[in-house]
Structure 1
Amino acid sequence: MTGALDGLRIVEFVGLGPAPFAAMMLADHGAEVLRIHPPARRSDIATMDSPADVLARSRACVSLDLKSGAGRAMALDLIAEADGLIEGFRPGVMERLGLGPAEGLSRNPRLVYGRMTGWGQDGPLAARAGHDINYIALTGVLDAIGPADRPAVPLNLVGDFGGGGMLMAFGMLAGLISAARTGQGQVVDAAMTDGAALLSAMIHGFRAGGAWGPGRAANMLDGGAFYYGVYACADGRFVAVGAIEPQFLVALLTGLGLDPAAFQPQDDRTRWPAWRACLAAAFQTRTRAEWLARFEGVDACLGPVLDWDEAQAHPHNAARATFVEAGGVPQPAPAPRFSATPAPRPSPPETDRRDPAVILARWRGR
């Protein structure tokens, strides 16, 4: 059975991180994505272009010298037959190659031209270098994450992949729906600063409503609340607690052997540090396995903090096939799930370069 995006054709100019992630998401659900590499490619990331390059899964690739007239012409021919294009270079790079939106849309007026950058296509910082941590720092998001004494680095999930790749994939699909309806393509300007800011929409609402104060580890969802955070157990392993609602908090405290009446009102922030210390001491009396056994079947919003290997083996993840294997490489399965058109199973990246003329002829023959 084909995926929900079967029939869509996307040209991807290969870059790093968020742009390949967006292309991967589209390929995961059936789009035919063709990756264009330069003939000689150097990367500081050891796994890139290897069987372990999960972000390159399920896609064919071709080598084109985009600095040559023949290479540019072939790229434009491919673009002319595509529904969309994804690139993740700094503003102006594609224009200098003669492959910018003006050239692409003149050849293919229904083309959706996706541009993935950190700062966006315009603005004072548009031409500056940066990485995930720089982008989320500019939005206020980084300042809100971590313990009270300093911000913590949340991997590169907020800027690169949440605010970047996922917003790019959403933008591409919105543009493709519009093009199918109107026959007119357009440019999608997906900036990681914009996307990271968008991910913080709820927190801005909390701030406006007086439910979120300044500082880190001082609010309900940032580790400040005693009922929402991570606790160490006797064996040095951790559990995650999210007992926000009163009934879940009662179940949590009762399971810990504590008197729920002594922790009221639960949103008295002046008492959170003392109550957190009380829960920390309680959790230190048993191992993680013992606490999980104690709370088995209890709705207390308590669960284990799993490492990568434990997560893949957990019964819930195993039952849902949340992780799969492609080419011997364990990796997350495509998401989300569709009832009528399940996503194709991921395949390893095709590291052998295809002949672009053969692909073009097939695309034209559809």
Structure 2
Amino acid sequence: MSLPLAGIRIVTMAEQYPGPYATLVLADLGADVVIVERPRGGDPARQLADFHAALNRGKRSVALDLKLDADRADLRKLIESADVFMEGFRPGTMARLGFGYEDVSRINPRAVYVSITGFGQTGPYRDRPAHDLSYQAIAGLLHRQAHTGQPELPPELAIGDLSSAMFAVTGCLAALLERVRTGRGKYVDVSMTDGLVSWMSVFLGPLMNGGELGMTQINGQPAYGVFPCADGRLLTLSVTHEDWFWAPLCEVLGLPALAAIGSMERTVREPELRPLIAAALLKRGRDEWGPLLDRAGVAWGPVNSLEEVTKDPHFHARGMFQRVAECDGNESWYVAQPLVFDDGEHPGPTAGVPAIGQHNETILKSDGKVKALG
């Protein structure tokens, strides 16, 4: 299939989670992603082999030791061929190695330079070490705990890492588009924490302007939440202000007297109404409720285990799980690129995970010139 980023080369030194996820998306869209790894050990995330594999399929690996003049020269030649250079080290690290934005721009003025850091290149926190949980805390995602003073289990999904990856993809594509007009690359400063603050817009904007928090109103609806069924399994109802979901839900649950209660009144009466909904759902198992809720057109979903997700017929029909060949000849399952283009096919995955330095010979010629894409 024709891929939108075919012919684009991305040279990346961004390790761990945000950079690898961003370049995973870009690789699936057709970019030639060349990972520059440390010769001994590679990306530190390789210590978590399955985690690393999920993020780095479909890429190529070159192992370079930047303490060596010859390897620094190889990286400069790679940068000459790059459309994008991505890194994820603390501010100033790449400049000390001789590959900061100004250095890379002198080597290749057309290269887009993307830096992913926890707090960005400026500000009083720029040098502070942290991981995803701390970024979420600072950005207000744990605001409920701030109000109650009661700690809860950390979120399982690294939202800061993933949101920054998607902002890196957005910034990268925007800068490449601008390059069509200007002929020059651009510097993209991606802060994990800034991205999370942006994602909190519907909380922070109303607060700063003296308005009402819309998401708080949604969470205060009696049929918005997780509920147990008779078989001990869980389902979600996601009925918010829409009366056209509420009325049929009441009919299905055997609560027709509640069907005419409007959205605002439901919020006020939430402490009274939620237990009635919960009690009704305890009368049947989840597999019994599913068809009834579907036929009524009610917004709902099962609370799936990870195993149930991998077996869900909808995701298989969508082609979300695919097998590809590894460098050792075996095959592995991967989650597919979620974007589907007009030919109805997912653009990735196309290949498995490269070994450390697997492509030194195929990318770096013996005469010192960098091979073209392919």
One-letter identity of the residue aligned with 1:313:
K
1:302 aligns with 2:300: yes
Question: Is structure 2 residue 339 aligned with structure 1 residue 346?
Answer: no
* Map of 1:315 onto structure 2: 313
Does the 8 Å CA contact 2:57/2:349 hold for their aligned counterparts?
no
Partner of 1:100: 100
Instruction: Spell out, residue by residue over 1:280-315, the C-alpha distance to the aligned partner (whole angstroms, 9 max, x if none).
Output: 111112111111132232211012111112112222
Gaps spanning 5+ residues in structure 1: where? none
What is the aligned partner in structure 2 of residue 359 from structure 1? 363
The SS at the match of 2:35 is strand
Counterparts of 1:260 and 1:141, CA distance in 2: 38
- 1:231 and 2:232 equivalent? no
What one-letter code is carried by the residue in structure 2 that aligns with 1:333?
A
Partner of 1:306, secondary structure, is coil
Check conservation: 2:336, 2:346, Cα contact below 8 A.
no
CA–CA distance in structure 2, aligned partners of residues 145 and 177 of structure 1: 42
Asked if the contact 1:146/1:152 (under 8 Å) is kept, the reply is no
User: TM-score when scaled to structure 1?
Assistant: 0.89
1:134-188 per-residue CA deviation (whole Å, 9 max, x = no partner) reads 11211112215899655553323421102x1111111111111111221111111
Structure 2: give runs of 5+ residues left out of the alignment: 326-330
CA offset at residue 107 of structure 1? 0.6
Instruction: Find the aligned partners of 1:42 and 1:169 in 2 and give their Cα distance.
Output: 23
SS where residue 188 of structure 1 aligns?
A: strand
Other-structure match for 1:77: 77
Please list the CA deviations of residues 61-95 of structure 1 after superposition, one character each: whole Å capped at 9, or x if unmatched: 01100122111111111011100011111111111
Cα–Cα, structure 1 residues 292 and 206, in superposed 2: closer, same or farther, change >3 Å? Answer: farther
Check the 8 A contact 1:142/1:152 in 2, yes or no. Answer: no
- Aligned partner of 1:276 in structure 2 is 274
Which residue is equivalent to 1:12? 12
Aligned to 2:328: none
Q: Which amino acid aligns with 2:59?
A: R
Letter in 2 for 1:359: I
In the alignment, is the contact (CA less than 8 A) between 1:3 and 1:342 conserved in 2? no
Equivalent in the alignment of 1:332: 335
Check whether the contact 1:65–1:71 (CA below 8 A) recurs between aligned residues.
Answer: yes
String of CA shifts for 1:202-247, please: whole Å, max 9, x gaps: 334454473318xxxx8234x4321211111122211111112111
The 2-side partners of 1:292 and 1:227 are apart by 15
Do 1:14 and 1:37's aligned partners in 2 also have CA atoms closer than 8 Å?
A: no
Q: Distance in 2 between matches of 1:265 and 1:336?
A: 38
Asked whether the 8 Å contact 1:4–1:342 carries over to 2, the reply is no
Residue 82 of structure 1 aligns with an amino acid whose one-letter code is A
Residue 258 of structure 1 is aligned with which of 255, 258, 262? 255
CA contact (8 A) 1:9 1:83 kept: yes
Identity %: 33
Which amino acid letter does the alignment assign opposite residue 347 of structure 2? Answer: A
> Are the aligned partners of 2:28 and 2:337 in contact in 1 as well (CA < 8 Å)?
yes
In 2, Cα distance between the equivalents of 1:20 and 1:262?
Answer: 49
Contact between 2:250 and 2:259, CA under 8 Å: does it hold in 1?
Answer: no
2:139 and 2:197 in contact (8 A); partners too: yes
Report the residue type matching 2:335 in the other structure. P
| 315-324 or 243-252, larger mean C-alpha shift | 315-324
Q: Which TM-score applies when normalising by structure 2?
A: 0.88
Distance 1:357 1:105 in 2: 26
Match of 1:247 in 2: 244
Q: Aligned ranges for residues 25-36 of structure 1 at < 5 Å? A: 25-36=25-36
Q: Residue 339 and residue 206 in structure 1: after superposition, are their counterparts in 2 closer, same or farther (change >3 A)?
A: farther
Give the direction of change, closer, same or farther, for the CA distance of 1:242–1:118 in structure 2 (3 Å limit). Answer: same
What SS does the corresponding residue of 2:98 show, helix, strand or coil?
Answer: coil
C-alpha spacing 1:276/1:10, structure 2 compared with 1 (3 Å): same
Aligned residue type for 1:295: L
Kept in 1: contact 2:222–2:273 (CA 8 A) = yes
Shift of 1:350: 1.1
CA offsets 1:28-55 (integer angstroms, 9 cap, x no match) = 1110000011111277656545696110
Are the equivalent residues in 1 in contact too, given 2:61–2:355 (CA < 8 A)? yes
Q: Secondary structure at the match of 1:297?
A: helix
Find the aligned partners of 1:277 and 1:261 in 2 and give their Cα distance.
13
